[in-house]
Amino acid sequence: MAEATIASQLSLMLKAPPTLSSPSQSLLQQLKPMASSLRTIASFRIFSYSSADRRSPRATPSLLSFSSSLKSLAFSLLPSPLSRHQRGSAVNVSTNGRFSSVTSPKCAASLTDQLKSATEDIRQILKSKHCHPILVRLGWHDAGTYNKNVKEWPQRSGANGSLRFEVELKYKSNTGLVNALKLIQPIKDKYPAVSYADLFQLASATAIEEAGGPRIPMTYGRVDAPSPNYCPEEGRLPAAGASSPADHMRKVFYRMGFNDKEIVALSGAHTLGRARPERSSWGKPETKYTKNGPGAPGGQSWTVQWLKFDNSYFKEIKAKSDEDLLVLPTDAALFEDPSFKVYAEKYAEDQETFFKDFAEAHAKLSNLGAKFDPPEGIVLDAAP
């Protein structure tokens, strides 16, 4: 069995090379007994536990690369030639239903490659499933929990992948987003070096661009919040039906560090997608624009072409002339509040300005609360 082979390779590794310094030699002596323990461990199957796996333990669990787990365990006990920035994020492994944390080595180059491949896979999913809107919403709902008044990571919340945990996914505001996670999970399994936090933001930025929107200047390398203990409390995201919508939006978006211009620009994301009464209690069950899909039919969209990213959202909510199109109280507030209105009018007139401001605001949104490894982040090359 491959595991047994790896365990014996580890035994060979532990026959210390003569070039090592004496403290390392003595460390290796201490490690020898571990080789046999590792053989025993090798008889267990080690699974990565995603939140989806935990919800449904019978669902196909993804088998972690056993060799990489063992290698990383050996690695983490040896003096490491890797810098802290080259070290990977923790992966959860379990031999007996409990969780433990093992650091898997990854280098920046492989993360870059995996990010590029993941982008390509997301493009394919977008083509086949027409799921642009829900992927944008997934990224927004992970990042939009950020509290700028809290310094510590991940307690400050934001783009840290905590939305993968069941407790947060089950918040009323996140109803339906489990479907987005189901689309992302196979990509996560395929590219384990890419964090959930990165995947959520990558998926949103890719969906916007593929729908015809602006290219968002993205940085990757986000670290995932390690456990559901760091999920934010419910109620951090804006509610569509607040009694004073503009005040409510300011309260919530200012907490994230946004200003009025950014609030209006980001609201323009509703150029994509639909509201479904069974998810949010907003919108009609179906309209002439949604009854035949594409994707799952139904719901009420803000725009006629709700898979196309343009400035038609601002035109439609200004006109309010089509019963089949949705205007939430928070959407209407963009043309009612004097400060918001300046930007909403501008964006209805001038798509180029909207795209520029949206791209800047979304880049900021995608970075809210994020911790990067390496700290300067990773920028991918221009689109292939």
Binding site for ligand HEM (CB under 6 A): 133-134, 136-137, 140, 176, 238-240, 249, 266-267, 269-270, 272-276, 279-280, 282-283, 328, 330
Nearer to ligand HEM by Cβ, of 61 and 295: the residue is 295
The conformation of residue 378, written as its DSSP 8-state character, comes to B
Dist. CA 300–CA 311, nearest whole Å: 18
Q: Which is nearer to ligand HEM, 3 or 331 (CB)?
A: 331
Closest approach of ligand HEM to the CB of residue 124, in Å? 19
User: Minimum distance from CB of 260 to ligand HEM (Å)?
Assistant: 12
In the complex, least distance from residue 11 CB atom to ligand HEM, rounded to whole angstroms: 53
DSSP 112-149: HHHHHHHHHHHHHHHHHH--HHHHHHHHHHHHTT--TT
Q: Which long-range contacts (CB under 8 A, 24 or more apart) does 120-125 make?
A: 120/384, 121/187, 121/190, 121/191, 122/187, 122/202, 122/203, 122/206, 122/207, 123/206, 123/210, 125/183, 125/187
| C-beta pairs of 29-35 under 8 Å, 24+ apart in sequence | 31/74, 31/77, 31/78, 34/77, 35/7, 35/8, 35/10, 35/11
Closest approach of ligand HEM to the CB of residue 59, in Å: 23
Q: Considering 85, 130, 132, 141, which one is annotated as catalytic?
A: 141
**Which residue is closest to ligand HEM by CB?**
273
Active site residue 141: yes
Q: Which amino acid is residue 378, in one-letter code?
A: I
In the complex, minimum distance from the CB of residue 111 to ligand HEM, in angstroms, rounded to a whole number: 25
Nearer to ligand HEM, 53 or 357 (CB): 357
Closer of 32 and 291 to ligand HEM (Cβ): 291
User: For residue 79, what are its two tokens?
Assistant: 């003096």
Nearer to ligand HEM, 102 or 275 (CB): 275
Cβ-based neighbours of 50, under 8 Å, separated by 6 or more: 62, 164, 185, 188, 189
Known catalytic residues? Answer: 141
